[in-house]
Structures are given as C-alpha cells and as structure tokens.
Amino acid sequence: MLLKSPIVVTGGAGFIGSNFVLQWLAEQQTNVTVLDNLTYAGNLENLTSVEKDKRYHFVLGDIVDGGSMRQLLDEQRPGAVVHFAAESHVDRSILGPAEFIRTNIEGTFQLLEAVRGYWSELPTPQQRAFRFLHVSTDEVYGSLTPTALAFTEETPYAPNSPYSASKAASDHLVRAYYHTYGLPVLTTNCSNNYGPHQFPEKLIPLVVLNALKGLPIPVYGDGQNVRDWLFVTDHCDGIRTVLERGVPGQTYNIGGRQEMSNLDLVQQICIVLDELKPTEKPYASLITFVKDRPGHDRRYAMNTSKIERELGWQPRETFAGGLRKTIQWYLDNPEWVEHVTSGSYREWIDLQYEPSSLTGAAKR
C-alpha cells in the first residue's frame, strides 16, 4: 500500500540515491521528487535517463533549510521520505569535518522537524501509513577485530571518524523522533556499496580509473583492512523492502556477506581489467602502499539475519558479477567519467594525494 504513494528522495542525485530513483521508477508506479543541493557528489547526469519521465521531479534545495523542506512536503504530499542526503566520504571528513556536522546532523535535524510538522497535520490513515526512512551505515558500529562476530542491530555504537560520528548522531535523532513524537521512522545500516555512478574518490572507481590511466593504485596501510561489499541495486532493493514491510522504530542491517581485505579487492579489480582492457604490464604492478588513514577502522562485517528472516530480503548479485558490471560501466561511460573528474575532483586529488598521485604517497 505504502509503495503506491509518491515519495521524496533526499540526495537522489548522488551514487546510491540515483540508483534508488532509477530502480523505483522501473519497478513502482508512483511519483518521485528528488531533493538535492548538488554538491560535488551530486550529479544530474545520473538521472538523465528519467528526466522526461512525468513521474520524476527534481528540486534543488538544501536539507539544512527547514522552511523550504516543509514547503516541499506541503506541495508534494509524499507518503514517504527516503533520506540519502549526506556528506559521505571518510577522508573528506578527516580533512574538513564541519560540512559533515552541518549536513549530516543539522540537516537531518531540520529535515526531521519539517517532516514532523507535515506528518502531524496529515489525516489519521495517512499518518499511520507514512514512513521516514533514514539511510545509514555500518560505520556507526566502529571497528571489529579479525575474528569478532559481525555487527548486529544490537551492537553498541562506537564511531571513529567524523563521518561515522555524524551519521551516528543522525541515527540517534531519528530514533528519538520515533520515541518522543511517534514519527514512523525506519533506519537501515548498510555496508560498503559499489556499482555505477559512484564518485571516483571512493576505493573501487578510484582504482579502476587510476589503473586505466596507468597511475599508482593507492592502498592505505598494509591493505589488510576488511570491508563487506554490497552491489548498489541490492541495497536499493533492501531499502524498498524495509519501506514496504519494516516495522516503524526498528533498524535493519543490510550487507553483502562479502568480506574481503582491500588488497584482495584491488587485486580482483586488476584481474578483471587485465581481461577487459589488456595492457603490456598487469595492472597489479601499479599497486602502491601509501600512508594509512588516521583512525582507519580495521574491519566491518554485517550480520543481516534480521532483514533476511523478518522481511525476506537477500542480495541477488554475486560479488564477481557485480564487480564485472561495475568495471564495465566505467569503461562504457567515459563522458560521465570525464565530467566528474574535472574541476573539483582534481582539487580533491591534489589535496589528498601527493602531486598527481604519481609518487603514490598519501598526504596527511
């Protein structure tokens, strides 16, 4: 029933948000309004394929601007808000945490206030059916030792980076709006995503694009930090499942049960590239160990039994299949890459890595 209402998607021009909007329009019938302020990570090219779809609307706006958020809700009358908008890159949060506090904490607070005002004036049946779904991360749980059990929804929060601390704060606010005001909220905590449209400051697209240019592939520390990878469409599918069947006030872990070390992952990317775009030397020869990220979490792993058992969700894509599709997408979309790797992307790379990354050394 809920999935028959129009929805508002914050951050819908970013990596996961745009994949979610495309999936929604392909599989659901209802209108989607994307609200995004188009930071360096927001890109309307991610949504070009639906720009003529009458069910899709784009609104340029900042979640920190609570008055405009309330106006948007009053105009669009959504049955749900799916909240992706955030500053999302750990390394940027280390170099400049202020924007993370502003968007992830203040922005989520302002959005919650706007949603609470709108929701409290809805007629009772619509109030009961309404959902606010907050998209969060496994990073709020902190770091695991190599043999520790995977994170469950009961694992205490222990964020270690300004990014994860700001996401943890936003999760707590969302929780409080359920307990204090009865706002029907849902929170999903997901592991590392990969797939088309990911901004190439994140590991997988950065490795693919550096390799194609013959630049060093920077691996932080000893390369033994472990992440749990999930193909982005499986995450989007999980969010739709939680929206439809999740119990208000509950949180749901989403993950791929695909743990691997960064070095292992980078080597796999190199092997796929050797096959799809062979060069004289194997791409793995470009792998370069660089200075570690401060406070670098050693391992993330997600126990996803709750969403599997209670809501019947499971990832569909294998890691090998998802990785190949992702690499192929970057090979097939040089224009998208060209557009996002000019301007502010260049500035970031110069700030984060030694000159043009050619020495392979991370700054800091």
Q: Active-site positions?
A: 138-139, 163
Q: In what order do the strands lie in the sheet with 131-137?
A: 56-60, 32-36, 7-10, 80-83, 131-137, 185-190, 251-254
Given ligand NAD, ligand TYD, none, residue 259, with its beta carbon under 5 to 8 Å by kind, binds none
Q: Is 62 in the site for ligand NAD (CB under 6 A)?
A: yes
Please enumerate in sequence order all residues whose Cβ is within 8 A of that of 306, keeping only pairs 6 or more positions apart, or say none.
152, 153, 252, 253
- CB 219, min distance to ligand TYD, A: 5
Given ligand NAD, ligand TYD, none, residue 233, with its beta carbon under 5 to 8 Å by kind, binds none
Task: Compute how many residues bind ligand TYD; rule: CB under 6 A.
Answer: 12
User: Nearer to ligand TYD by C-beta: 81 or 207?
Assistant: 207
Residue 92 corresponds to which tokens in the numbers above? 């940027």
- CB 104, min distance to ligand NAD, A: 7
**Of 175, 165, 36, 176, the residue nearest 98 (C-alpha):** 165
Q: Is 68 left (phi over 0), alpha (psi -120 to 50) or beta?
A: alpha
Exposed/middle/buried for residue 75 (C-beta within 10 Å: 0-12, 13-18, 19+)? exposed
**Of 174, 169, 192, the residue nearest 83 (C-alpha):** 174
Residues 155-194 that bind ligand TYD (CB under 6 A): 192
* End-to-end Cα, the chain, rounded Å: 51
Half-sphere exposure of 234 (CA within 13 A, CB side): 28
Q: Is 218 in the site for ligand TYD (CB under 6 A)?
A: yes
Which of 107, 184, 195, 256 touches ligand NAD (CB under 6 A)?
107
Residue nearest to ligand NAD (CB): 14
- CB 352, min distance to ligand TYD, A: 8
Q: Is 135 in the site for ligand TYD (CB under 6 A)?
A: no
Single-letter residue type at 170: S
CA distance to 40, 104, 342, per residue, from 255 (Å): 26, 22, 32
Given ligand NAD, ligand TYD, none, residue 13, with its beta carbon under 5 to 8 Å by kind, binds ligand NAD
Q: How far apart are CA 358 and CA 344, in angstroms?
A: 19
Stretch that binds ligand NAD, among 57-65, 117-125, 209-217, 305-313 (CB under 6 A): 57-65
Stretch that binds ligand TYD, among 128-136, 218-226, 324-332, 343-351 (CB under 6 A): 218-226
Which of 31, 33, 39, 267 touches ligand NAD (CB under 6 A)?
39
The DSSP bridge pattern shows strands 7-10 and 32-36 to be parallel
Residues 55-84 that bind ligand TYD (CB under 6 A): none
Residue 158 corresponds to which tokens in the numbers above? 């222990």
Given ligand NAD, ligand TYD, none, residue 190, with its beta carbon under 5 to 8 Å by kind, binds ligand NAD
Site string for ligand TYD, 281-320 (x = CB under 6 A): ------------x---------------------------
| R_g of the chain, CA atoms, integer Å | 20
Binding site for ligand TYD (CB under 6 A): 90, 192, 202-203, 206, 218-220, 225, 227, 262, 293
Binding site for ligand NAD (CB under 6 A): 10-11, 13-17, 36-39, 41-42, 62-64, 84-86, 88, 103, 107, 135-137, 167, 190, 192-193, 199
